[in-house]
């Protein structure tokens, strides 16, 4: 044991040394901790919050209202991502939204196009910048998406047309005058209409007495159908290809005082499904086409981005995902009726 005088001396010496070192810019040593040793690779990859822009059409009809609702619901599941959701009434507004997202340096874009053609160039620009592109429903005209999710629109057109043929007398025997209502010019509408027309054109007893775009809009469908009914008031049925347009067509029939006509829409709106379930003769069937596919696209984007290693993940991610569609009839309508749904 050291004598007390030596202890005091050593303590004083140590204190003087520390004070002296501090005068020359030295300070008390602190432990060095390497962030690479304390964080997992996944934690390092997400230390900066990921940014994902979601660009979708404005809720101008029931189906897109469902799309907006599902997008907001999905974003709540991933607080680790900064979601930026923008809706657009026109292609011009949507292009501006996507350009704004790029300026904010987003890591990914989930895009449901208002129209296919005008949105393709800006999507291509984003793709060339290395931004992950998830395209939902309405496809681009060039293969610029990393992942493309869509409903089976050819099946939609084919199944709906086959149902109408059967109801009008059966294959090779069907007879009737039909009005065709088309949607917004895009890959979705093209696939549906082409598939349906292939079925109708094979039936010599079916006559297409009117065909015009109503842009998946109820009011537009009312106006278009009124015009077509003025030219061909003895129509048998209406292939509306969309439930909002189907309701617009129904209003047109009522205003014209025309009865005995039935309508086939599409997309599974709860109001229409309920009428199918109740065996309303105006709506004998419907076709599914879920607006929740936007959430599927957002989930895939988050899966690819969170934790890093995007290139490795893309090796096994689906590049083209097709969601099947089902014919809704009175006997199975209860399986597709969700009264609390927004759509």
Say what the pLDDT of residue 260 is: 96
pLDDT tens digits along 238-260: 999 999 999 999 999 999 999 99
Domains 46-145+291-323 and 153-287 share a fold: yes
Say what the pLDDT of residue 60 is: 67
Domain ranges of the chain: 46-145+291-323, 153-287
pLDDT tens digits along 139-193: 999 999 999 999 999 999 999 999 999 999 999 999 999 999 999 888 899 999 9
Q: Look at residue 30 and tell me whether its pLDDT is greater than 90.
A: no
Q: pTM for the complete prediction?
A: 0.75
Quote the CA–CA distance of 335 and 243 in Å, as a whole number.
Answer: 18
Q: What is the mean pLDDT of residues 97-119?
A: 97
Quickly name the fold that domain 46-145+291-323 has: Rossmann fold (3.40.50)
pLDDT tens digits along 258-292: 999 999 999 999 999 999 999 999 999 999 998 99
User: What backbone torsions phi and psi does residue 179 show, to the nearest 5 degrees?
Assistant: -105, 135
Task: Provide the percentage of residues in the chain whose pLDDT is more than 70.
Answer: 86
In CATH, what number does 153-287 get?
Answer: 3.40.50.2300
Say what the pLDDT of residue 47 is: 53
């Amino acid at each position: 044991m050291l004598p007390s005088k030596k202890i005091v001396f050593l303590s004083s010496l140590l204190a003087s040394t520390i004070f002296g070192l501090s005068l020359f810019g030295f300070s008390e040593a602190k432990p060095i901790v390497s962030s690479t040793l304390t964080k997992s690779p996944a934690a390092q990859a997400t230390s900066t919050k990921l940014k994902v822009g979601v660009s979708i059409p404005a809720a101008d009809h029931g189906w897109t209202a469902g799309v907006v609702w599902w997008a907001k619901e999905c974003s709540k599941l991933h607080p680790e991502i900064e979601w930026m959701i923008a809706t657009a009434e026109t292609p011009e507004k949507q292009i501006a939204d996507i350009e704004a997202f790029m300026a904010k340096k987003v890591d990914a874009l989930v895009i449901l196009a208002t129209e296919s053609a005008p949105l393709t160039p800006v999507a291509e620009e984003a793709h060339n910048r290395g931004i992950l592109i998830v395209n939902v429903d309405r496809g681009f005209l060039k293969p610029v998406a990393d992942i493309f999710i869509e409903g089976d629109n050819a099946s939609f057109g084919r199944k709906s047309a086959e149902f109408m043929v059967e109801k009008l007398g059966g294959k090779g025997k069907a007879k009737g005058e039909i009005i065709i209502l088309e949607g917004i010019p895009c890959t979705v509408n093209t696939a549906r209409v082409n598939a349906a027309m292939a079925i109708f054109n094979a039936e010599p007893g079916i006559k297409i007495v009117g065909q015009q775009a109503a842009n998946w809009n109820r009011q537009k469908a009312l106006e278009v159908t009124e015009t077509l009914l003025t030219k061909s008031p003895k129509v048998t049925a209406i292939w509306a290809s969309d439930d909002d347009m189907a309701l617009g067509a129904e209003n047109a029939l009522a205003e014209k005082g025309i009865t005995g006509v039935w309508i086939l829409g599409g997309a599974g709106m709860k109001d229409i499904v309920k009428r199918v379930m109740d065996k309303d003769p105006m709506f004998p069937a419907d076709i599914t086409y879920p607006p929740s596919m936007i959430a599927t696209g957002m989930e895939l984007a988050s899966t690819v981005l969170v934790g890093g290693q995007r290139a490795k993940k893309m090796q096994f991610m689906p590049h083209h995902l097709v969601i099947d569609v089902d014919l809704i009839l009175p006997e199975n309508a209860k399986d597709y009726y969700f009264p609390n749904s927004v759509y």
